[in-house]
Amino acid sequence: MSNPLLENFDTPFESAPFSKIKTEHFIPALKHSIDLALDEIDTVVKNKATPSFENTLEALENCGNLIGRNSSLLFNLNSAETSDALQKVAQEAAPLLTAFQNDIRLNETLFKRIKFVHEKENRALLSPEQLTLLEKEYKGFVRNGALLDSNAKEKLREIDTTLAQLSLSFGEHVLADTQAYQLHIEKEEDLKGLPENSKEMAQQLAEQKELKGWVFTLDYPSYVPFMTYSEHRELRKKLSLAFGKRGFQDNDQNNSEVILKIVKLRQERAQLLGYESHAAFVLDERMAQSEKNVQSFLDNLSEKAHPAAKKEWDTMETFALENLGIDKLEKWDTAFVAEKLKQAEFDLDEQKLKPYFPLNKVLKGLFDIVERLYGLSFYKTTEIDPYQEEVVVYEAKKNEEFHALIYTDFFPRPGKRNGAWMTSYRSQKSKQRPHVSIVCNFSRPTKTQPSLLTFQEVTTLFHEFGHALHGILANTTYSGLSGTSVYWDFVELPSQIMENWCYEPEALALFAKHYETDKVIPQEYIDKIKKASHFQQGLQTLRQLSFGYLDLSFHNKNASQIDNVKTHEKNQIESLQFTTDSPENCMSTAFSHIFQGGYAAGYYSYKWAEVLDADAFELFLEKGIFDSKTATSFLDNILSKGGTEHPMTLYKRFRGKEPDPNALLRRAGLIPVLVNAIVEQ
């Protein structure tokens, strides 16, 4: 069988020839790639020369390029364009790749060479990037069992293999439950309050399913507008409960036992490596450094946010009773009531904003902003083979030369998981430019309208593009330190800082243009958007903190004692919520960030990075949001550097100081002006 995954890609920019890649290609290609990589590593191990940075660390860095490429293709497709067959392949591939990683990390002779270099190399002759790579590789081996005895190493292999499979199963279960549900409405009066484009999308979906009426799903572009605008309270309840049941039903997709297994195995793995808990293991390689510091960080924000959140909740309860006849707010009411309250307080209706945010114009404006900041230009290309017909590929150029490829994938479909993310198909390194992708789930164009974004979707697009810039603008020697290969609580800085431009009139003028008239969004709307940015920041902060606390609780030293996921979740977050718990719902069983993604013991990093981005953007506000000197400094010290040095070193080089935690509280309006004045003195 001819297998394109066993060859170099003879394509423009060595891009993946997706149309030629078949599901059955992956396992043979991965097995062969693993054999090749092990042969390459064996060459490093058998080198008779005295171990050095060049013949050991650099040589190791250059091993396994084929397996890295092919595994990225598999798991990226499994998230964005999966099928039953591809999921089976991913399940088969996971233990193969885990075993391969363990074959490297538990190779005693290879570790001896690295240990020798770590102890004997003349560090004065190494660059900061080389020193970082040396430390990262040495610690990577130690943190993956290099110092363990043979029995413990074998146990580690077993744990890692099982964890890889459990993580895949978790994601498959959530996707299956998400796609198994639909709310079929046949009476037009049941659509009261819903925006026209939401109804039109639901009607088109019903037609596709050969049903009369309208169909709503648990995909965000369908679910969120329904929960925000539907005046039919019982249907909101029905949809909300269905969403909360994902992974928590009496079926084969129930994730409760999967979570308990993952949590216990992570704890066991950490203790095997000499750490008290999985959180301690993870945070040893984070800016936050320890569970105690994270707990203190969360507690500090919670203390500041809770009084504001209580006032906001009381206001919402009073408003709901007096204006909407709701005497007890339930979780299926909050988005609906909050939107009505926001309209009343700010005279701001999201549906009036959406015509000013057609996806094509927002994307063009985003490109313009990035060009003004960092000198990047984007050109749509049809020469690149996309992995799905709706995917649009752009060539990024800098100084008129090729700099990167970016795949854009914006609409929900079967086989694509919910949410939004950035990923990489090829990383950057010396003499190699990256291929990155941003994946979102925005409202599709309808028969009468283009894809119109909510303001929250606009910020989501800017957020993911910030991640993409971290990859596109990377300029490092080694791929292992490139782009988003940074401490996890630093990785959100480039993404979250980009969201700030969404609130600035000078930036909005570039993209917020009515899809029919091309008129720029009125200043009064901009003023309302900025005022509304403080709306319910206390409640929103508590919500994010509750996820952070819950994540930490699943990974602290007591995690292995958890015997009921639902009970544990309720105990952890009840004090941070104002709605009554729904017994048939469980958030944890669909908490993909920590049980499928890479945020285990790291969900706090969203808020941590918000502190960084709020503090960093204050410099842009001071100098000008398009100030070339500030943008160049951010590019040179943050975006291009990846993980080549400690993130605090890079941040201080850009900002001139450590971040001020109160910058986030100032931006969110959670501390009074008097406190601001004291802080500034």
| Average pLDDT estimate for 387-411 | 97
* 552, two tokens: 């930490």
Could you tell me what percent of the chain has a pLDDT over 70?
98
Q: Which CATH superfamily is domain 4-147 in?
A: Endopeptidase. Chain P; domain 1 (1.20.1050.40)
CA 654 to CA 599: how far, in whole Å? 26
| Average pLDDT estimate for 245-263 | 98
Q: Is the per-residue pLDDT at 679 higher than 80?
A: no
What is residue 257's predicted lDDT score, i.e. its pLDDT?
98
CB 61 within 8 A of CB 69: no
| Average pLDDT estimate for 572-579 | 95
What is residue 675's predicted lDDT score, i.e. its pLDDT?
34
Burial of 56: CB neighbours in 10 Å, binned 0-12, 13-18, 19+: buried
The SS3 assignment for 585 reads coil
What is residue 672's predicted lDDT score, i.e. its pLDDT?
55
Nearest to 134 by CA among 43, 52, 41, 65: 52
- What is the greatest pairwise CA distance in the chain? 82
- DSSP-assigned beta bridge partners for residue 455: none
CA 563 to CA 316: how far, in whole Å? 36
What is residue 203's predicted lDDT score, i.e. its pLDDT?
96
CA 600 to CA 74: how far, in whole Å? 22
What is residue 28's predicted lDDT score, i.e. its pLDDT?
97
Residue 92 among the catalytic residues: no
* 266, two tokens: 């992570």
Tens of pLDDT, residues 586-609? 999 999 999 998 899 999 999 999
Tens of pLDDT, residues 34-45? 999 999 999 999
Q: Is the per-residue pLDDT at 671 higher than 90?
A: no
Tens of pLDDT, residues 319-347? 999 999 999 999 999 999 999 999 999 98
What is residue 1's predicted lDDT score, i.e. its pLDDT?
64
What is residue 240's predicted lDDT score, i.e. its pLDDT?
98
Q: Is the per-residue pLDDT at 674 higher than 50?
A: no
Question: Predicted confidence band at 376 (pLDDT cuts at 50, 70, 90)?
Answer: very high
| Average pLDDT estimate for 507-514 | 96
What is residue 378's predicted lDDT score, i.e. its pLDDT?
98
Q: Is the per-residue pLDDT at 677 higher than 50?
A: no
Phi, psi for 69 (deg, rounded to 5): -65, -50
* 410, two tokens: 């914006």
Could you tell me what percent of the chain has a pLDDT over 90?
91
72-76, 102-106, 648-652: the lowest-pLDDT one: 102-106
Q: Is the per-residue pLDDT at 558 higher than 80?
A: yes
Residue of 121, 172, 350, 464 with catalytic role? 464
Nearest to 435 by CA among 33, 14, 7: 14
CA 458 to CA 451: how far, in whole Å? 12
**N-term to C-term CA, the chain:** 71
What is residue 525's predicted lDDT score, i.e. its pLDDT?
93
Residue ranges of the domains in the chain?
4-147, 181-244
CB 202 within 8 A of CB 216: yes
Plot region of 391 (φ>0 → left; ψ -120 to 50 → alpha; else → beta) = beta
Contacts of 371 (CB under 8 A, 6+ apart): 377, 378
What is residue 678's predicted lDDT score, i.e. its pLDDT?
30
What is residue 351's predicted lDDT score, i.e. its pLDDT?
86
Q: Where does 291-340 show beta strands of DSSP type E?
A: none
59-68, 169-178, 185-194, 524-533: the lowest-pLDDT one: 524-533
- Enumerate the H helices of 515-604 as residue ranges: 523-532, 537-553, 565-573, 592-595
Tens of pLDDT, residues 115-166? 999 999 999 999 999 999 999 999 999 999 999 999 999 999 999 999 999 9
Beta-strand relationship, 401-409 and 435-439 = parallel
Q: Is the per-residue pLDDT at 673 higher than 50?
A: no
| Average pLDDT estimate for 381-389 | 97
Phi, psi for 447 (deg, rounded to 5): -65, -25
Contacts of 188 (CB under 8 A, 6+ apart): none
Nearest to 126 by CA among 50, 51, 53, 49: 53
Interior angle at CA 59, CA 54 and CA 61, nearest 5: 115
| Strand order from edge to edge, sheet including 376-381 | 376-381, 392-398, 401-409, 435-439, 421-426
Phi, psi for 622 (deg, rounded to 5): -70, -40
Interior angle at CA 457, CA 453 and CA 461, nearest 5: 110
| Average pLDDT estimate for 386-410 | 97
